[in-house]
Chain A
Amino acid sequence: MAELIARSAFQGLLPLRFGNVEAVEVMAATITSVSPFRGQETKVSKALEKAVGVPFPDAGRVIARDDVRAIWTGMGQCFVLGADPGPLPGAAVTDQTDAWGALAIEGTDARAVLARLVPIDLRPDVFAVGHAARTLFGHMACVLTREAGDRYGIMVFRSMAGSAAHELEGAMRKVAARERLQ
């Protein structure tokens, strides 16, 4: 039997480092979407917590325990990263592991880099640690999370990884160049 070689979304595109900002690919072992059916929200949240240790998050929030994170991704929908919850009675569960290219961007100027690409308010107290948003990354739809003070997570469609890395590099270069002017 032949062995198929796996290729990650940002292979050959990341990491990038300019100035004080670094962008690296982040690989979650699994990404699973969970959408509770009508009236099943509480039951599913409990089952989810039992299965992987995190409940269903509130709108615009991330819940993280150890290596598992549940990210709100839309109305009645979340992504569970890092552990496969398996089938959850009362919910649509779909494998999304390969659908997304995920990266983390970190550094003092990470927010300034994102301000070139993301239109939402990223002021530290507005988009706080543990917040999540579906928004734009350049011209691409993305899932944006704030993971730590100067660290953000970005997920884009896997097929757009090349464009995402290109846009990111442009913004990082310009921010680093401005930093050099200071």
Chain B
Amino acid sequence: MRVEGRGRIDRTRPVSFTFDGKTISGFAGDTVASALLARDIRLMARSFKYHRPRGPLTAGSEEPNALVQVGTGHAMIPNVRATVQEIHEGLTVNSQNRIGSLERDLMAVNDLFWPFLGAGFYYKTFMWPRRFWEGLYEPMIRRAAGLGRMTRGPNPEASERAFAHCDVLVIGGGPTGLMAALTAARAGADVILAEESAECGGRLLSDAEEIDGVEAEYWVEDMLAQLKETGRVRVMTRTTVTGVHDGLNFGALERVGQHLPHDPDTPRDCFWRIRAKSAVLAAGALERPIAFPMNDRPGIMLASAVRTYLNRYGVAPGRNLTVFATNDDAHRTAVEMQAAGMRVAAVIDSRTGVRKQGDYRLIEGGQVIDTKGRHGLRQITVRHGGRTDDIITDCLAMSGGWNPSVHLTCHLGARPVWDAARKAFLPAPDAVPGLFPAGACNGNYATAACLRDGHAAAAKALAMLGLKARKVEVSEALEDAGSVSTLWYVEGKGRAWLDFANDVTTKDVKLAAQEGFTSVEHMKRYTTQGMAPDQGKSSNIAALALLADATGRGIPETGTTTYRPPFIPVPIGAMAAGAEGKGFAPERRTTSDRALRDWGAPMIEAGLWYRPSYVPKPGETHWRQSCDREVRMVREAVGVVDVSTLGKIDIQGPDAAAFLDFVYCNTFSTLKPGRVRYGLMLREDGHVMDDGTTARLSDTHFVMTTTTAAAGQVMQHLEFVRQCLRPDLDVALISVTEQWAQFSVAGPQARALINSVLDEAIDDESFPFMACGPVRIHGIPGRLFRISFSGEHAYEIAIPARFGEALYRDLVARAETLGGGAYGMEALNVMRIEKGFITHAEIHGRVTADDVGFGRMVSGKKDCVGRAASLRPGLSGPEREQLVGLKPKSPETPLLAGAHLFREKDDAVRVNDQGYITSVAWSPTLETYLGLGFLLNGRARIGETVRMVDHLRKAETLCEVCDPVFFDPEGGRARG
């Protein structure tokens, strides 16, 4: 019920939302859990395995029970903690993990079979028949086991990623964090203060406390004002630091729009990567539940959560409270609930000799041994002094003490250390270098100790930066956190839950110990304790304490499992924000892109680039029609294709020629200025890396071209050679791929077309095959290269990219008047196969220069990268598969790239494999299918018949082994 006069919610702003279709109203500032509790709705979820009715155990992100799904359609997010999700107008919340209504979940039948559903149930039960596992058991179990439901479509609500940098990152905005942030900022450091909830203050907003004689919430306000005044503190609320990574890089998840009505531009959440020079961990502590029999009913929650609902949200989770505690601190819950006008039925303390803090019935040395109430707590049974009492209650606040939130200190591999005096695991010393734990997460619970510790930790963080902490007045606050004893579990009839999220009970841990899973890591995996989305935040310590008892060891000997990032569940969509779909990689568009799309050319990816597959003409319905036409067009008239995507590297310097001699296997120092040469580049291991042409513009200036796919790799390789292998050579490299739009003009009419755009016409004499030089194109300075990848008389013409689109459209229009036009990648590929030119289909990384027939290109007169390796036995010669051409015996039978080659009479099995096909095409010029491939000792087998077998596509045919150059083997067309 709502309590007047308490809470930090805005009662002037009512907000309504729906829960399982029912409209619920709350106030701005409410969470789903607080708004539901205010309407006396305690049942919010069904448990994982037994489908037990559950309500919230906590009021924070550690919540194991109250998981709900939020949103509709593809924007639905499962497993959202109702204790974290703030309500907003239009919010749709549904309970999950049920069949039928939440009240009458059909899966609750599991609860009746609980004696059979213990640890290892699945391993023991679904063993036979074996073949049933994959088809039947696993899908069935998966169907029954998952918590939330996944949607299949992409989430229409976008996430965001961002980077932040600071000197000191303070994690947690409670008293410790506020003190640390102020200390750091006053000393001149840039501070980021990350606070998980909607506002700073931590427990000070939940507990009625005084600091410097005023209510603590006023002190928080004052501190925030002081932080603002420094101008150095960036307060990030609703931001959970999810992980510590190497070099003090932190991940953090900010809830940006989750608490607001949908707006298309507001990201749902933001995944921050925060780089800090030092950090203060002020993550606080989480209260421990007690594993007593039937401790999982809605209405049973942590004592600290009851105070949070009361003081922060103005909600009493019950009207008739009982408290079950092992410590003084939890007694405050009774005092505060009484002050709010609620009845306190009893405070049961497991200790004796306890001082009463108010006017309530105190049961000393008592334990709760049973509870009743199917959908919500009605009654508890207490055992004390040899007798048992039934007590009517609708809310039981339990507290087994506190567990410091050491999670982040474990992220780099350190394990927390048991502190016998504080009865808690504390951060290992120097667990994360540069991260200083302080306050409750460091085992200092009293507010005054938190303030001092926050100041001291900030001073250490500042010392790392070479800054000195100025004196900051530490406020006067509560000095005593009270005494505490441990009570991990209560023996009795019925199940006592340890891990509420994964339905792990004390019985399961005992069973694990009994069956030999005595290591804490084995126990965890056998019982699944701690493996739910909450990472066992409220159950790990109790489970290992129980395991310690069950195995007769102490807690330090038993040890603890560790915590890994992320601290809270992080949607993959947040970590990958912006990288979905086309955001995965940038698109590179050529200057001809717009024209080609205008003409309806299908664009295909080539690395990051987009290139036209073909350029269709009206009436063409199949790519082969367009492709065949384009090939004939180039062979008979002239064609234009954009080749700007090929890598272009400007190489200059006194040693440029020597450098090229070293990176290419053939020689470039002998190339005359104004000429182009084909070059083959090897990797250090003697295999072919890339090929291309390089033009010599002057004695000390070359332009290298690479293949489209390997442009980045070659640039990287050249830089490596320049900086590491041959620092003695004086040479400068820079990519000019993007500077020049470059078009290939090929065909018998190529020169006519080129001359129509040049200011000064060229002829065979001034511009022979493999010539290059500067030209003016419609008055614009450009470059011309007479090179051919089609076997035709061809040029590549280069112009500064801003003129690329205009020149391309102009060239194509002029080509059309000559009976030619634009062509695409398919036709380009057909023509290069007709000519036996290789691409990365052939130089795929496992072939050597000798394999592709270029063995003699590896110059014996000089050294080059890969030469030594290429000379090793086994990397050349007849024992290797060598490049050959292939023609089917019947010309119309397609060859298939990827198919394997066998001797005519051999069985088509692996041991008889003779090679494989890398490229195939229908040649409209020669009217037959053609293929390039690699065949064992292929060059010596020209004329032989081999069998192509494609086991995948179930095809086979006989082919003739040929020279790879099918068309114009003398090369007269290109030279002429």
Closest 10 A/B residue pairs (Cβ): A92-B732, A92-B652, A177-B265, A163-B586, A99-B738, A35-B732, A98-B801, A159-B588, A121-B165, A4-B806
Contact status B800-A97, CB under 8 Å: yes
Contacts of B802 in A (CB 8 A): 6-9, 97-98
Give me 14 other A-B pairs in contact (C-beta within 8 A), A33-B734, A96-B739 excluded: A1-B779, A2-B757, A4-B799, A5-B806, A37-B732, A77-B734, A98-B739, A99-B736, A99-B739, A121-B165, A123-B166, A159-B589, A174-B158, A177-B265
Contact status B800-A98, CB under 8 Å: yes
Contacts of B810 in A (CB 8 A): 2, 4
Would you call A116 an interface residue if the criterion is a C-beta within 8 Å of the partner chain's C-beta atoms?
yes
* Sampled A-B contacts (28; CB under 8 Å): A1-B759, A4-B777, A4-B780, A4-B803, A4-B806, A7-B591, A37-B730, A37-B732, A95-B800, A98-B741, A98-B801, A99-B735, A99-B801, A100-B738, A116-B161, A120-B163, A123-B190, A139-B579, A157-B738, A159-B588, A159-B738, A160-B586, A167-B578, A170-B578, A173-B265, A174-B266, A176-B265, A177-B257
Contacts of A121 in B (CB 8 A): 165, 275
What sequence of 0s and 1s flags, for each residue 783-823 of chain B, a beta carbon within 8 Å of any chain A beta carbon? 00000000000000001111111110010000000000000
Contact status A94-B650, CB under 8 Å: yes
Chain B interface residue count, CB cutoff 8 Å, equals 62
Report how far A8 CA is from B801 CA in the complex, Å: 9
Residue of B nearest to A172 (CB): B265
What sequence of 0s and 1s flags, for each residue 733-760 of chain B, a beta carbon within 8 Å of any chain A beta carbon? 0111111110000000000000001010
Contacts of A138 in B (CB 8 A): 578, 583, 586
Would you call A53 an interface residue if the criterion is a C-beta within 8 Å of the partner chain's C-beta atoms?
no
Contact status A118-B163, CB under 8 Å: yes
Residue of A nearest to B650 (CB): A94
Would you call A122 an interface residue if the criterion is a C-beta within 8 Å of the partner chain's C-beta atoms?
yes
Contacts of B583 in A (CB 8 A): 138-139, 167
Q: Which of A34-68 contact B (CB under 8 A)?
A: 35, 37-38
Would you call B585 an interface residue if the criterion is a C-beta within 8 Å of the partner chain's C-beta atoms?
yes
Contacts of A160 in B (CB 8 A): 586-588, 608
Contacts of B805 in A (CB 8 A): 5, 7
Smallest Cβ distance from A53 to chain B, in angstroms? 23
Q: Which of B273, B759, B802, B804 has the most CB of A within 10 A?
A: B802
Contact status A94-B652, CB under 8 Å: yes
Residue of A nearest to B814 (CB): A2
What sequence of 0s and 1s flags, for each residue 75-94 of chain A, a beta carbon within 8 Å of any chain B beta carbon? 01100000000000001101
Contacts of A177 in B (CB 8 A): 257, 263, 265-267
Contacts of B584 in A (CB 8 A): 139
Contacts of B609 in A (CB 8 A): 159
Report how far A95 CA is from B526 CA in the complex, Å: 66
Smallest Cβ distance from B379 to chain A, in angstroms? 47
Contact status B732-A76, CB under 8 Å: yes
Chain A interface residue count, CB cutoff 8 Å, equals 53
Smallest Cβ distance from B743 to chain A, in angstroms? 13
Residue of A nearest to B651 (CB): A92
Would you call B79 an interface residue if the criterion is a C-beta within 8 Å of the partner chain's C-beta atoms?
no
Contacts of A91 in B (CB 8 A): 732
A116-B265 contact in complex given A7-B591, A92-B732, A96-B736, C-beta closer than 8 Å:
no
Contacts of B799 in A (CB 8 A): 4
Contact status A1-B778, CB under 8 Å: yes
Would you call A132 an interface residue if the criterion is a C-beta within 8 Å of the partner chain's C-beta atoms?
no
Smallest Cβ distance from B164 to chain A, in angstroms? 7
What sequence of 0s and 1s flags, for each residue 105-138 of chain A, a beta carbon within 8 Å of any chain B beta carbon? 0000000000110111111001000000000001
| Set A2, A99, A126, A162: member contacting B589, Cβ < 8 A | A162
Smallest Cβ distance from A156 to chain B, in angstroms? 8
Contacts of B737 in A (CB 8 A): 99
Contacts of A24 in B (CB 8 A): none
Would you call B940 an interface residue if the criterion is a C-beta within 8 Å of the partner chain's C-beta atoms?
no
| Set B163, B732, B740, B801: member contacting A119, Cβ < 8 A | B163
Contact status A174-B265, CB under 8 Å: yes
Contact status A98-B654, CB under 8 Å: no
Would you call B217 an interface residue if the criterion is a C-beta within 8 Å of the partner chain's C-beta atoms?
no
What sequence of 0s and 1s flags, for each residue 559-585 of chain B, a beta carbon within 8 Å of any chain A beta carbon? 000000000000000000011001111
Contacts of B446 in A (CB 8 A): none
Contact status B585-A139, CB under 8 Å: yes
Residue of B nearest to A141 (CB): B586
Report how far A77 CA is from B653 CA in the complex, Å: 14
Contacts of A123 in B (CB 8 A): 165-166, 190
Contacts of B166 in A (CB 8 A): 123
Contact status A116-B160, CB under 8 Å: yes
Residue of B nearest to A31 (CB): B739
Would you call A71 an interface residue if the criterion is a C-beta within 8 Å of the partner chain's C-beta atoms?
no
Smallest Cβ distance from B120 to chain A, in angstroms? 46
Contacts of B759 in A (CB 8 A): 1
Would you call B721 an interface residue if the criterion is a C-beta within 8 Å of the partner chain's C-beta atoms?
no
Q: Which of B577-606 contact A (CB under 8 A)?
A: 578-579, 582-591
Report how far A164 CA is from B738 CA in the complex, Å: 15
Report how far A76 CA is from B719 CA in the complex, Å: 13
Report how far A130 CA is from B257 CA in the complex, Å: 36
Contacts of A120 in B (CB 8 A): 163
A115-B585 contact in complex given A98-B802, A158-B801, A174-B265, C-beta closer than 8 Å:
no
Contacts of B779 in A (CB 8 A): 1, 3
Smallest Cβ distance from A2 to chain B, in angstroms? 5
Contacts of A178 in B (CB 8 A): 256, 266
Report how far A139 CA is from B160 CA in the complex, Å: 14
Report how far A137 CA is from B360 CA in the complex, Å: 64
Smallest Cβ distance from B276 to chain A, in angstroms? 11
Contact status A158-B738, CB under 8 Å: yes
Report how far A159 CA is from B579 CA in the complex, Å: 19
Would you call A16 an interface residue if the criterion is a C-beta within 8 Å of the partner chain's C-beta atoms?
no
A38-B162 contact in complex given A174-B266, A177-B266, C-beta closer than 8 Å:
no
| Set B587, B650, B735: member contacting A162, Cβ < 8 A | B587
Contact status B739-A95, CB under 8 Å: yes
Contacts of A9 in B (CB 8 A): 802
Smallest Cβ distance from A112 to chain B, in angstroms? 8
Contacts of A97 in B (CB 8 A): 739, 800, 802
Would you call B646 an interface residue if the criterion is a C-beta within 8 Å of the partner chain's C-beta atoms?
no
Would you call B718 an interface residue if the criterion is a C-beta within 8 Å of the partner chain's C-beta atoms?
no
A115-B739 contact in complex given A1-B779, A8-B802, A121-B275, C-beta closer than 8 Å:
no
A37-B653 contact in complex given A116-B162, A159-B590, A167-B578, C-beta closer than 8 Å:
yes
Smallest Cβ distance from B301 to chain A, in angstroms? 32
Contact status A3-B590, CB under 8 Å: no
Contact status A164-B586, CB under 8 Å: yes
Smallest Cβ distance from B782 to chain A, in angstroms? 10
